[in-house]
Structure 1
Amino acid sequence: MLDRTVTIRNKLGLHARAAVKFVNLSNRFSSSVKIVKDGDEIDGKSILGILTLAATQGTSIRLLVSGKDEEAAMAALVELIGNRFDEKE
């Protein structure tokens, strides 16, 4: 299992559009993806779960990725977050 803490950098945080991008990317991999924020762990392949986190700009979250393609999945998800979900701000 890979464990990495990342910070949400885009201005609007982990809102609906960003959540859809995260879930769509997560679902390209067979590995399990979990997100932990403030002790709450949710399924990273669930849009509803991600939206309940209310992760705003500057929020730190932990990504837990486990499975056959965990390294590729973690790299892709970290890149998506680092690129502000391909948003300008």
Structure 2
Amino acid sequence: MAFEKEVKIRNKTGMHAKPAADFVKKVNQYSPAVSVSFEGKEVNAKDVMALMGLGVAKGNQITIKAEGDNAKTIVEEIIAFVENDMVKNDY
């Protein structure tokens, strides 16, 4: 089972080095496959270089997708991280 949902990036620097590294750290808490899609490209959400290579900036929409039994919960927890922790840390 897969679940995906879009989220808007609201932190200052988008998926630059520090927020991308923190994002990967969060995603690595989950064993199922997680991916991020942006402008027609889909990458492994556990690969910091691939995430940074997407060129996601503040205000862009990304799609987070997870596979497995807890896919919906995983996506919602990652989205909460993007909307709260990444903004709070104000990269």
Match status 1:13 vs 2:14: yes
Q: Which runs of 5+ in 1 are unaligned?
A: none
- Whichever residue aligns with residue 17 of structure 1, its letter is K
RMSD: 1.4
Point out 4+ residue stretches in structure 1 off by more than 6 angstroms.
none
- Number of aligned residue pairs: 89
d(CA) in 1 for partners of 2:39, 2:65: 14
Q: Which runs of 5+ in 2 are unaligned?
A: none
Paired residue secondary structure (1:45)? coil
Taking structure 1 as the reference length, the TM-score comes to 0.91
CA contact (8 A) 1:8 1:84 kept: no
The aligned runs of 1:1-89 (5 Å cut-off) are: 1-83=2-84, 85=86, 86-88=88-90
Paired residue secondary structure (1:83)? helix
Taking structure 2 as the reference length, the TM-score comes to 0.89
d(CA) in 2 for partners of 1:51, 1:88: 17
d(CA) in 1 for partners of 2:27, 2:85: 16
